[in-house]
Every structure is written in C-alpha cells, then in structure tokens.
Structure 1
C-alpha cells in the first residue's frame, strides 16, 4: 500500500506538470496572451498545474478502478478454485472415514463366526467380497448409480441380520422406479450402521430395526427406525462415524436439496431423509 500511494502521487504530479506545460505553452501561447518575463511564465505554469490536478486524479482513479476490477475478478476465480479443492478434500476425507469403519465391522463378524460356524462365515466372506468390490471400484466417484448403492446396502443389512440372528427383528424394503438416478456413495451407510450399533439388545428383549427406501420422481425417501436402550447409548458414546459426518456431506453435496429429521422418543430412534437426487443423462 505504501508503494502504491507513492507511485500514485508521482503519477499525479507528472500528469499535472504535463498538463500545466500544455496549458502554458500551447493553449495560452496559441492565443497570444503569454507574458514575456519569467515570473509571468511561472504563474501560468502554477495555474496550469492546479487546473491539471483534478484531471490527473480522475485519470488515475479510472485506471486504478479498472485494475482493481481485474484483480478482484482474479481473486474471485482463485477463491472459487480453492473452495472447490477444499470441498473435494472434505468429501474425500469423509468417505475415507466411512470405508475402514465398515470393513472393520464385517471382518470382525467373520472372525467370530469362523470359530463356530464356518459355512455362515464362508457366506459372509462372499458378501464381504461384494461389499469390498463396490468400495474399491465405485466409491472413488462423486456419484454412483442408486441401484448399485442400494445393492451395497442390502448386502450390509444381510450381514448384520446373519450376525445377530434371532436377537434382532430386521425388516427392510427397497423400491426404485428409476435406474438413472445417482447418489453420493456411502451416504446412507452411517444411518444403517448406527441403527444396528445402538439397537436394544438387553437380556429377555428382542430389538428391532426397520429400514425403508423408496425412489419416486427422482426423489429418495429413506427411513430408519430402531429400538434402543439408554444403557447401550451411554456405553457407546465414543464410537464410530456418527451422524455429524453425514450432515456435513449433505450440506456439502446436497445444499438446499435435502430434508433430514432425526427423532428420539420412548426409546425409539427414527431417521427420516428426503433427498433430491441427480439424474444420469446418458
């Protein structure tokens, strides 16, 4: 700023001097009213200098305005690129937080089953290969096909159902009307993970999980309900991904295109998500 002010002052002075010379030796001399003595010349020069100051300020102000406008456009473009890069990094970070969590849970289930039910462990291992294949080859995209994402969720639910057996009552329904709909990968996983994580498993009680997913007119209606106990919630306060990451992803990827309602009442936890989906133009 100091250098800028010095340069502007010098330019204003130079422009004013040029204008005073033009005023004195061109306009005045052409009219024949220029005095012969030096002091007369000097007074005309000063008069031209003062008259040239407003014009110099105007010229410099216009030039600076144009330059500032160009710089502002460049700053805004750089800011948009920076925001886009930051957004992509945030989304990548949130997705990376999801993948290891799901993989860890499934591997832990298989490890436990290998000790007393090898056939079921083998079946879960096949399901795990499908889950891992989906994560490796599809989840590195910004958007994936909704039917592929639903297939992944169904595999995940099947793993949980087999893991807990008769301890849980699990019901899930999926209905898709369009195969062109697209969705951000692994967006819905934390809702299902939390439902199975916090569901009530007290002795003598059978917990339940209800999952409903319907796509209609390029809008997704996703609903999860599960019973829970205060004891389970307090024991697992620290765990997992949490709903905060999902809410961040929704704000980043679906601004003004979703409605998320989370309710907890009478030991029943409900998640209701309405999401406007993208559509594949191919």
Structure 2
C-alpha cells in the first residue's frame, strides 16, 4: 500500500534529483551531490518542524495573515542558511570556482523562491489532509448515527412482532389439540428464528424466505377458509444478504387489514422473485374495507420498514404503496448487491 510516509520519501527523493539536475551545469558532480543533499535536508527540516507546525496552529484560525508572515520569515531564514551552506560547500571543494558576492545574492533569492514554494505546497497538503480527516470523521459519525438508528428500529420492531404473536395465541386456544400442537410447532420455529436472527444486521435471503413461508402458512391457517390466499416464490438458491424481518412486515400488514366482506371474495396475493440475480421484488395485494379505513388502522410496521429501507438501502430501493377502493397494494424492489 502506498502510504503517506512512502509518498513523503518519494517527494524528497524527487526533490534531490531535480536539484542535482539543476546544479549539474554549474558545479562538479561531487559539489552538486553535496549541495543537493544540503538543500533537500534543510528544506525537509524547514517543512517538518516549522511550516507544518505553523499550518496546524493557524489552519483553523482566522489569523491566516500571521501564518503568511511567519512562513515568509521562516523562508528568509532558511534561504540564508541554504546560501551559506552553498558557499561552504563550494569553498571546501578546490575544483569549484570562487563564489562572488553577486553569486551569493542570486543564490539567496533562488533559495528564497524555493523555500516559499515549498512552504505554500506544504500548507496546501496539510489543508488537504485535514479536510480528508474531517470528512472521514464526519462519515464515521454519520455511520455511527445510522447504526444507532437502525438498532433502535430493530428494538422497536421486536415488541411489535411479539405483540402480534401473543395476540394470535387466542386463536390457538380455540383449536383442537392436534392442530394447536402443529401451529405451536410452527410458532416455535418462527420465534426461534426471530430470537437468533433479529440480533444480526444482515442475514441470508434464503433464510428470510424460509421464515416468510412458515409465517405465511401460519397466518393462512389462522385466517380460515373464507380468505383466498396465494404465495408465489420464484427465487433460486443464492448468496444474497438482506436485513432481517424486512419483508414480513408487508405480510403482517396484509393479514391485519384484509377486508371482511361477506358478499365478496377476500384475498391476499403475494409474489416474491429475483431479476438480474440481485434485484429482489415483492408484490403483495389484498382486499381492504376502504382506503380511508385502511389509513386509520395503519400500524407502526410500515413506518418502521420505510425508515429501515432509507437507512440500509439509500438510493437503492423503490417502494410503491397504493390504496384504492376496496384494495391495497404494495410493490417493493431492492438492489441487494449494495
């Protein structure tokens, strides 16, 4: 992995090579290498122990003028040091020509420009790094808030589901023993699945579909023969994951608000299927007494399922709920690859 530390080494190695290339016409190879090393090391100290500290101190403050003044002053000092280093290196090598005052002045201004450019570049890099860190922190905080909200929704769904289970126990008591035992066995499977899987953030889609089949059959037996019920499931074996108990809410809602017309056929039709390997579709339709009554009796389930979809599949789902006269229809599509 190309880390920030490696990038720093690469930059200063590049700085050394570029400086050596620039000095090759005026100095011998030995003089060029020594002076390039002096320039590179001095500028690195200038950036690391002066400019970076100034940047961190004044980056978020309104005193940007102070940073500019301090950075200019530090650049002048660094340019003076580099000029003297150049004179010492040239003077120490007999083969180099004598340094004249005009050469020192020209060298000073050249080193000053380099110091200022390096200082400005370092400030920009520190500003960029802080923006990246700030964005990362903001995203982590956002994710933490989302996770807390999702956990909160799961805890709210828990008593809601349990309430529906306990409410249905009245039906079991009225049944004969054999059928009651069969229904209790189904309840135990559902509750066992619910207790263990509700703690997970993601579960296998196959497990969720299996749970839906048990739950649908249970509600079908409880509803009696006056209700026309169909469940189509066209999902091959797969490795897709989904948030737990998302789909069962629509089934709960359908059985809870299905109509009780004496002169009409009451029905619940459910169809679940996959398209393009990862697009899950759920379509459920049921008769309802009226659009206005259905709105009045609407429970908390659909409100929570919309929040969970927004948090877990932002921008990757569509939910269409239509309430018509004597009819209620919900169509859900989710991209499960996200």
1:135 aligns with 2:187: no
Please state how far the C-alpha of 1:195 moved relative to its aligned partner.
Answer: 1.1
Question: Following superposition of structure 1 onto structure 2, how do residues 1-282 of structure 1 map, counting pairs within 5 Å?
Answer: 1-2=61-62, 5-16=65-76, 19=79, 31=100, 58-114=117-173, 116-117=174-175, 119=177, 120-202=179-261, 204-218=263-277, 219-230=279-290, 232-237=293-298, 239-242=299-302, 244-278=303-337
**Between 270-279 and 72-81, the greater mean CA deviation after superposition:** 270-279
Deviations 1:89-137 (A, max 9, x none): 33323333323212210111103542x3353444332222111111222
Whole-Å separation in 2 of the counterparts to 1:32 and 1:176:
86
Please state how far the C-alpha of 1:20 moved relative to its aligned partner.
Answer: 7.3
Secondary structure of the corresponding residue to residue 214 of structure 1: strand
Please state how far the C-alpha of 1:271 moved relative to its aligned partner.
Answer: 1.6
Contact 1:226 1:270 in 2 (8 A): yes
Question: Cα RMSD (Å) of the superposition?
Answer: 3.7
Contact 2:231 2:271 in 1 (8 A): yes
Whole-Å separation in 2 of the counterparts to 1:22 and 1:179:
67
Contact 2:280 2:334 in 1 (8 A): yes
Please state how far the C-alpha of 1:167 moved relative to its aligned partner.
Answer: 4.2
Whole-Å separation in 1 of the counterparts to 2:233 and 2:80:
84
Whole-Å separation in 2 of the counterparts to 1:122 and 1:189:
23
Unaligned runs of 5+ in 1: 34-44
Contact 1:198 1:232 in 2 (8 A): no
Contact 2:205 2:241 in 1 (8 A): yes
Whole-Å separation in 1 of the counterparts to 2:145 and 2:160:
23
Unaligned runs of 5+ in 2: 1-60, 88-98
Whole-Å separation in 1 of the counterparts to 2:319 and 2:295:
24
Name the TM-score, length of structure 1 as normaliser: 0.75
Secondary structure of the corresponding residue to residue 270 of structure 2: strand
Secondary structure of the corresponding residue to residue 224 of structure 1: strand
Whole-Å separation in 1 of the counterparts to 2:126 and 2:206:
52
Deviations 1:48-71 (A, max 9, x none): x99998776544322211111221
* 1:211–1:54 Cα change, 3 Å: same
Ranked by relative contact order (alpha carbons within 8 Å, sequence separation 6 or more), the top structure is 1
Please state how far the C-alpha of 1:217 moved relative to its aligned partner.
Answer: 4.5
Contact 1:175 1:213 in 2 (8 A): yes
Contact 1:175 1:214 in 2 (8 A): yes
